[in-house]
Amino acid sequence: MQDVMQIIEQITDRIYEEHDRPVPERLSALVTQISPHYARIRSPRILLDIQRNAPSVWSEWETWRLWRYTKFRAIIEDGVVQEVIRSDIKIDDIIAYYTVMANSCMEYSVYVESDVSSLDLY
């Protein structure tokens, strides 16, 4: 998991800092570049195993993901400036929506009830 976290940090930090790049391109890059790495750990078996048998690892992962969501704010703020994201929606609300959607990709039950692969889901 730490390997995945480091790779995702390297990819996303670079994308978060590309303030002059159009936001839709940055969002697309985020999904296409980090999805394969998230998919490495998002199998139902792995998720359930970590949650049940390695709660400290799961807790570290959850803390890390919440911290990464705060860094996602840079893209949202740039989207408002570039007028591709509505300015009448609070940035904290957008991040909350994104967090809920991303968190649902980590729920074991989502995989059990779906024929969609973890990569396609994310």
Q: What is the pLDDT of residues 57-96, one digit of tens each?
A: 989 988 998 888 888 899 999 999 999 999 999 999 999 9
> Which H, E and C letters describe the chain, residue by residue?
CHHHHHHHHHHHHHHHCCCCCCHHHHHHHHHHHHHHHHHCCCCHHHHHHHHHHCHHHHHHHHHHHHHHHHHHHHHHHHHHHCCCCCCCCCHHHHHHHHHHHHHHCCCHHHHHCCCCCHHHHC
The pTM of the whole model exceeds 0.85: no
Q: What does the pLDDT read at residue 77?
A: 93
CA distance 118 to 110: 10
Q: What does the pLDDT read at residue 106?
A: 62
